[in-house]
Structure 1
Amino acid sequence: MKNPIAKIFKYLLPSLAFLICSKVQAQDAYEIIKKADDKMQGVSSKVEMSMTIVRPDWSREVKIKSWAKGQKLSLILIEAPARDKGTAFLKRHKEIWNWQPKIDRVIKLPPSMMMQSWMGSDFTNDDLVKESSIVNDYYQKVVADTTIQGYECYKIEMLPKEDAAVVWGKIYAYISKADYLQLLFKYYDEEGYLINTMKLSDIKKMDDRVLPTRLEMIPADEEGHKTVVQYNQMKFNINIDDNFFSMQNMKRIR
């Protein structure tokens, strides 16, 4: 009689191989996203950038400085145009405030405002203050290999975790295999409709790393609309105390 143990393994091995492969693939996708995200953020950072809001019959430029420490602390200062100068946004953990110097008022942003436009742009409040994390709030899976801007890339599908407070129903991220460059993101709602596409380009050395320095956020259903962010200067792993990210500093930072 044939060995019954061998017979059991005959049927179990394919299933076990599939489970092991799926687990390894998921772990690989997580590591890819984490490396790409760490590269863009560092332990801490200071960034000077310009944001141009483009519409079919007009455009507007906003000058911005930002500071960040990890995923939980960030401060964004508007330097121009004159009407918005001094406006600031502070994130501490899951709480987000907006300082409006013209009316001498601090406004706390509720979670319901995360999908609203940031400064009239095609970015949302969630995009700019990063309330949700592509590393921690989503399940990641490599679904294909592809080429973007001449770079061989992983196409990674990200689906929100059950308990995550996120605004997107699904995200596709395209990350270069060689240097973990973020090159393209596609954002979908819970119904599966494409809402925004973010293209990253103009690869340059910034401080101690090579990164895309131009971002274009393009809404799917508004022809002629887009928002372009150009990074002008980036410093990573700077010495910055947690106390820098305070309500008092948000009001006086220049």
Structure 2
Amino acid sequence: MKKISTILLLGLFILTLSFAAAAQDLSGEEVLTNIENARQAETASMQMTMELYNAAGDMRSRQLNSRHKEGEVEKSLIEFTSPADVAGTAFLSLEDNSSSEEDMYLFLPVLGSVRKISGSQKNGNFVGSDLSYIDLTVFSGANYKDNYQADVLDSSSEEYLLKLNPTDPDINYKYGKMWVKTDIWSPKKVEFYDQSEELLKTVQLEDFKKIDNNWIAQKITVKNEQKGTKTVMKMTEIKFNINLDDQLFTTRYLER
């Protein structure tokens, strides 16, 4: 009986190692594909609070809505609702999956018109936050695969560490590093490095919750390591697979 128990334990140990090896034997591209496939929702609507902290720790708070719709053209819309000085400010992103071309638009109420964001402007800070416009397209639902090529730096049964090499010439980061949770196939931390290969920005994703079969981080902290500023986004309401009219994702809607 003791011999049989030993054999069974040895078999279970080998089986466990086999599963662990299988989980670790993925390429960077396959990990990014798993992240993409983990997103089941066709549409998403979120209400959130954005907290902006300066280097001294002083905080300003803003409220905004974010909506996203999958399709041949991936559509994302972010609208600020308060305070009064930013209310009505909106950002629209339209990405054609057939060509990977992406159009970005910003509406500022004080100007009363839509401005297209292109080229190096995509690396500018979004409404005084620590996020660039390119960062927004990733966090609002666009795929990392559209902007980065990934190599595996390290792996275990619990997480992958990837190096992200920009494929979009408009991205001003030299490279990034991303830690990915294998249980839910979601990034939990991302680091971005400048052209001098100095750490520029750290993104921390926390408080994961499963809603309608979709895992989402309810808190995202973006810290500029060189300036000492940070932006904290807290999700207050999240809805998936709701009806979103295509007319929401137009420049005409921004100017309404």
TM-score computed with the length of structure 2 as normaliser: 0.77
Farther-moved stretch of structure 1 (192-201 vs 129-138): 129-138
Cα distance change of structure 1 residues 122 and 36 upon mapping to structure 2, 3 Å threshold:
same
Q: Secondary structure at the match of 2:27?
A: helix
- Residue matched to 1:143: 153
Which among 201, 206, 217 is matched to residue 201 of structure 1? Answer: 206
Deviations, residues 1-58 of structure 1 (Å, cap 9, x unaligned)? xxxxxxxxxxxxxxxxxxxxxxx96x63223223324546833211111110012152
- Residue matched to 2:15: none
1:154 to 2:147 alignment: no
Q: Secondary structure at the match of 1:135?
A: helix
Q: Secondary structure at the match of 1:129?
A: helix
Q: Where do 1:5-44 residues align within 5 Å?
A: 28-39=27-38, 42-44=41-43
Distance 2:169 2:34 in 1: 21
Cα distance change of structure 1 residues 211 and 129 upon mapping to structure 2, 3 Å threshold:
closer
Distance 1:198 1:43 in 2: 25
Cα distance change of structure 1 residues 112 and 106 upon mapping to structure 2, 3 Å threshold:
same
What amino acid is aligned across from residue 67 of structure 1 in structure 2? R
- Residue matched to 1:60: 60
- Residue matched to 1:175: 180
Residue 241 of structure 1 deviates from its aligned partner by 4.1
1:108 to 2:116 alignment: yes
Residue 203 of structure 1 deviates from its aligned partner by 1.8
Cα distance change of structure 1 residues 38 and 75 upon mapping to structure 2, 3 Å threshold:
farther
Give the conservation status (yes or no) of the 8 Å contact 1:206–1:233. Answer: no
TM-score computed with the length of structure 1 as normaliser: 0.78
Residue 207 of structure 1 deviates from its aligned partner by 3.7
* CA RMSD, Structure 1 to Structure 2 (Å): 2.5
Give the conservation status (yes or no) of the 8 Å contact 1:186–1:198. Answer: yes
Distance 1:167 1:242 in 2: 31
Give the conservation status (yes or no) of the 8 Å contact 1:117–1:124. Answer: yes
Which among 214, 218, 224 is matched to residue 219 of structure 1? Answer: 224
Cα distance change of structure 1 residues 234 and 116 upon mapping to structure 2, 3 Å threshold:
same
Give unpaired runs (5+ residues) of structure 1: 1-23
Give unpaired runs (5+ residues) of structure 2: 1-23, 96-101
What amino acid is aligned across from residue 218 of structure 2 in structure 1? T
Residue 114 of structure 1 deviates from its aligned partner by 1.3
Distance 1:246 1:227 in 2: 27
